[in-house]
Every structure is written in C-alpha cells, then in structure tokens.
C-alpha cells in the first residue's frame, strides 16, 4: 500500500501501531557499521518483534542485511511466500516439523540435536536435494544448542550425512547468555568456546559460509565477537538492548514503532472518584478523565495499571487505574482534551512521548516484550514504504 492509503486506513482505526520502515533501514545501516566486515542477519522472528514480518524484512534488506533469521520454519516459509529470496535461517523446531518444505525453499535449518539432523537428512532424501544445515553449539547459555559431549557427537553425525550427500553444513552458530553485560566473564568464555567449535567444524571439512554468535547487544558492545556475521534483532527496530549502557540515541538507533490511539470519551469528575475496575485509582482533586481505546487485548500490559506513561496534548500523563481488555483511563488534570485527540503510548521519544523502554521500566519488563506483544488487532501503518 502507499503511505497515503496506509494513513487513511489508520485514521479509521481507534488505535494503531505505526512502523517507520525508514528507521529500520537506518538501524540496519548503523548495525552494519558496527559489524565491520561481517554480514548482518536481521532477526525478524515474532512478526519482526511485532513490527510486521514482511515489510520489516524488506526494510532490513534495503538497509543492507544479507540474511534474515527467524525462530520458526513457518515464519521463514511466510517470507518465501511473500517473494523474499534472501538467505534465511530458522532455528527452533520440534519433532514433526516439515523439513522438506525448508529444503524445497532453500531455507537453512539451525540444528542443535542429532534427532533433528537425522530428520533433516531424511527429508533431504525424500526431496532429492541437499539440505542446508547450520549447527548450533551451546557455549554456555544452556538453552537450545548442542551441549558438552553432544557437540562432538553432532559434528560426527553431520560429517556422515555430508559424506553421503544428504546435507551440507553451511554454518555454525551459538547464542550469548549475558551479552548485555559486556564485561561479564561469560562473554569472553563463550567466544573462546565458540572458536573451538568453529575449529571442530573446519576440521570435519565442512564448507562453512557463516560463523556467528552476536545478538544486538554483542553487535553494539563486543565487536570482536562478530566472526562472519552478526544476528541482531532488537536493535534493528531501534531499541537498545543495553539501556543502562546507552539508549537508542547513544548508538544512533531510531525506534521504529509508535503506538497511539484516539480519545473516545471525556468527563469532568470531582475529587474522590474511583476509576476503572476495582476503583484502584481515586482522583486527588476535581479533574478530567479521558478514555483511551486500547487495552490488554491489544498488547497494552495490564501491569501498566496506574503506572503506564502516555503523551496527550503535549503533556506526559499516567494511566489511571486498571488497564482493561479494550481500554484504559488517563487523568489529564485540567488539560483541554477533545474526543478524537491523539494519545501516544510510546514512540521515538523525539516529541516528548514515552518510549518502549519507558513502558518496560514502568511495568517491570524489557522493551522486547513491550513491542513484540502488541497484538495484531492494532492495524500496522507503514511509513516510508516504497510504492509497489
Ligand atoms: C532472538 C535471537 C537473536 C536476536 O537477539 P536480540 O537480542 O534481539 O538482538 C539472535 N539469535 C538468536 C538465536 C535468537 O533467538
């Protein structure tokens, strides 16, 4: 859709997520500068952290990303169905996943376990093509990679499948446990273990195209861990994975997502009026209350009850009382607000609005969760999308 058509669609909605695709392009350019000679794999799992899979992926590719990474095969297949031809890696599968579809669509499969390697090899024989596999080693996160003696066993099993032509090992990768604390000793220790795992693959004779371990935090703070490729997610969307070290502006990132809604009902109430379910907020004086039409069904955390910050009429105000499924109330004092006025929950922060990081801090979570959980009930409005 054109930008204008998108804006009209959004104007009809009571609440919306606006995504600035030019911000994604810019953020990938910034990440590429940090990555030096390493390639960028933009991570677009989780509907591109809530920003919308296909438009975000295309913007990341415009920004110079060479690869796209997702957690689930269905996400990779959705990209192929949309006509995205860039190299793709998917890395989280349970038995029963249709690896034949991955092979037919030239999607690299991240493999942490022998059962999965065997299933991919069986699918490759069925399809009659060589499967592209990237081995995932656990270097200390204790999550989804091959751990301890399972790693050399996985390498040996992969070598047998390579020898019979069913698979090609195109990459090796791992994931940091604590990259947001760049001086934590595990950051160095995991790099050493990963370098050993890379050597194991090279000794086995695999024709590796990519070796990679860095998420957003490592890309921005630990450049020596870049190897051939970095794998940032959060920073692609302009949020800082290390808010204590530096917010988006310190890294020149631009938050891509803005969430806003239009005021429905306004009322003047006396001092002592309880507000929303349970009447947990009580007006401290005569004041104006506004009703904002988005709630936890839209991804507004219920934990934001009486603490979530918003911008209305150029002023910072706070959610009054409980966030409901479809709406919440804000005490705006004596601000002159009218039905239809825009309330911004979060955005870039450049116009005084709160950021996703502010919402994370107010609700005791991380900005990843704030943006990713914005529900698809909120229409996505894309700015900066080139005309089709
Ligand atoms: C989600 C994920 C990433 C991206 O992490 P960010 O912290 O968002 O940069 C990279 N690699 C793997 C394996 C992941 O699961």
Query: What is the CATH classification number for the domain harbouring 129?
Result: 3.20.20.10
Residues 221 and 276 in one domain: no
353-366 residues labelled b (16+ CB within 10 A) or e (exposed): bbbbbbbbbbbeeb
Q: Is residue 54 part of a domain?
A: no
Q: Which atom of ligand 1 is nearest to the CA of 43?
A: 4
Last residue of one domain, picked from the residues 176, 203, 235: 235
Starting from the edge strand earliest in sequence, which strands make up the sheet with 342-346, in order? 266-269, 287-292, 328-333, 315-320, 309-312, 342-346, 257-262, 15-20, 380-383
**Catalytically annotated residues:** 45, 277
Residues 194 and 269 in one domain: no
Sorting pLDDT into bands at 50, 70 and 90, what band is 3? Answer: very low
Last residue of one domain, picked from the residues 177, 201, 235: 235
Residues 263 and 230 in one domain: no
What span, in angstroms and rounded, lies between the C-alpha atoms of 331 and 46? 34
Residues 289 and 373 in one domain: yes
Q: Is residue 229 part of a domain?
A: yes
Q: Is residue 243 part of a domain?
A: no
What span, in angstroms and rounded, lies between the C-alpha atoms of 242 and 272? 41
Q: Is residue 14 part of a domain?
A: no
**Residue with CA nearest ligand 1 atom 15:** 71
> How many angstroms does the Cα of residue 37 sit away from the middle of ligand 1?
20
What span, in angstroms and rounded, lies between the C-alpha atoms of 176 and 168? 25
**Does the annotation list 229 as a binding residue?**
no
Residues 173 and 300 in one domain: no
Looking up residue 329, the CATH number of its domain turns out to be 2.40.37.10
Both tokens assigned to 343: 């309330």
Question: 3-state secondary structure string, 155-192?
Answer: HHHHHHHHHCCCEEEEEEECCCCCCCCCCCHHHHHHHH
- Find out whether 166 and 132 touch, Cβ atoms under 8 Å: no
What span, in angstroms and rounded, lies between the C-alpha atoms of 5 and 7? 5
Q: Which of 39, 41, 43, 257 to mutate to test the pocket of ligand 1 (most atoms within 8 A of CB)?
A: 43
Specify which residues 109 forms β-bridges with. 90, 133
Residues 222 and 152 in one domain: yes
Q: Which atom of ligand 1 is nearest to the CA of 144?
A: 13
Residues 195 and 96 in one domain: yes
Residue 280 is predicted with a pLDDT of 98
**Residue with CA nearest ligand 1 atom 6:** 233
Residue 6 is predicted with a pLDDT of 43
Containing domain of residue 371, as a range? 257-383
| pLDDT tens by residue, 134-185 | 999 999 999 999 999 999 999 999 999 999 999 999 999 999 999 999 999 9
239-275 residues labelled b (16+ CB within 10 A) or e (exposed): bbbbbeeebbeebebbbbbbbbbbbeebeeeeeebeb
Range with the poorest average pLDDT among 77-91, 196-210, 277-291, 372-386:
372-386
Residues 222 and 271 in one domain: no
Q: What is the pTM of this model?
A: 0.95
Residues 107 and 147 in one domain: yes
Q: Is residue 33 part of a domain?
A: no
Residue 11, pLDDT > 80, answer no
Sorting pLDDT into bands at 50, 70 and 90, what band is 244? Answer: confident
Q: Which atom of ligand 1 is nearest to the CA of 232?
A: 9
Residues 208 and 75 in one domain: yes
> How many angstroms does the Cα of residue 153 sit away from the middle of ligand 1?
25
Residue 380's alpha-carbon distances to 90, 153, 171, in angstroms, are: 25, 45, 34
> How many angstroms does the Cα of residue 297 sit away from the middle of ligand 1?
26
Q: Kind of pairing, strands 380-383 and 131-136?
A: unpaired
Q: Is residue 358 part of a domain?
A: yes
What span, in angstroms and rounded, lies between the C-alpha atoms of 330 and 354? 15
Last residue of one domain, picked from the residues 169, 203, 235: 235
What span, in angstroms and rounded, lies between the C-alpha atoms of 78 and 45? 11
**Does the annotation list 325 as a binding residue?**
yes
CA-CA-CA-CA torsion sign (351, 17, 47, 88): negative
**Residue with CA nearest ligand 1 atom 1:** 233
What span, in angstroms and rounded, lies between the C-alpha atoms of 37 and 29? 13
Residues 121 and 229 in one domain: yes
Find the residues whose C-beta lies inside 6 A of ligand 1.
Answer: 43, 45, 91, 175, 215-216, 231-234, 241
> How many angstroms does the Cα of residue 49 sit away from the middle of ligand 1?
11
> How many domains are contained in the chain?
2
Residues 367 and 267 in one domain: yes
Unique residue bearing structure tokens 């991380």: 366
């Amino acid at each position: 859709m054109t930008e204008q058509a998108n804006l009209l669609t959004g104007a009809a909605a009571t609440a919306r997520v606006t995504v600035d695709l030019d911000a994604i392009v810019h953020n990938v350019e910034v990440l590429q500068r940090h990555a030096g000679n390493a390639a960028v794999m933009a991570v677009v799992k989780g509907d591109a952290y809530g920003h919308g899979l296909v438009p975000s992926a295309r913007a990341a590719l415009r920004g110079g990303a060479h690869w796209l990474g997702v957690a689930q095969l269905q996400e990779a297949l959705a990209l192929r169905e949309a006509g995205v031809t860039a190299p793709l890696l998917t890395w989280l599968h349970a038995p029963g996943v249709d690896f034949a579809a991955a092979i037919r669509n030239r999607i690299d499969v991240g493999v942490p376990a022998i059962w999965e390697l065997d299933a991919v090899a069986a699918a490759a024989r069925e399809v009659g093509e060589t499967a592209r596999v990237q081995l995932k080693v656990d270097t200390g996160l204790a999550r989804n990679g091959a751990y301890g003696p399972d790693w050399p066993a996985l390498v040996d099993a992969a070598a047998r499948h390579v020898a019979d032509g069913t698979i090609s090992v195109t990459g090796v990768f791992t994931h940091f446990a604590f990259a947001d604390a760049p001086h934590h000793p595990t950051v160095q220790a995991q790099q050493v273990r990963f370098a050993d795992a890379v050597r194991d693959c090279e000794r086995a004779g695999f024709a590796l195209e990519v070796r990679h371990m860095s998420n957003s935090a490592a890309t921005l703070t630990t450049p020596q861990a870049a190897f051939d490729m970095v794998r940032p997610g959060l920073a692609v969307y302009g949020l800082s994975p290390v808010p204590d070290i530096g917010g988006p502006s310190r890294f020149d990132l631009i938050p891509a997502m803005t969430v806003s809604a239009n005021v429905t009902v306004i009322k003047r109430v006396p001092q002592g009026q309880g507000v929303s379910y349970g009447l947990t907020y009580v007006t401290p004086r005569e004041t104006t209350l506004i009703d904002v039409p988005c709630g936890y069904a839209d991804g507004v955390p219920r934990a934001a009850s009486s603490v979530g910050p918003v911008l209305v009429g150029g002023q910072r105000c706070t959610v009054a009382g409980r966030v409901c499924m479809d709406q919440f109330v804000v005490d705006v004092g004596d601000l002159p607000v009218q039905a239809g006025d825009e309330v911004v929950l979060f955005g870039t922060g450049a116009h005084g609005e709160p950021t996703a990081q502010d919402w994370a801090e107010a609700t005791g979570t991380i900005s990843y969760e704030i943006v990713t959980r914005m529900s698809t009930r909120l229409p996505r409005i894309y700015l900066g999308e080139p005309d089709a």
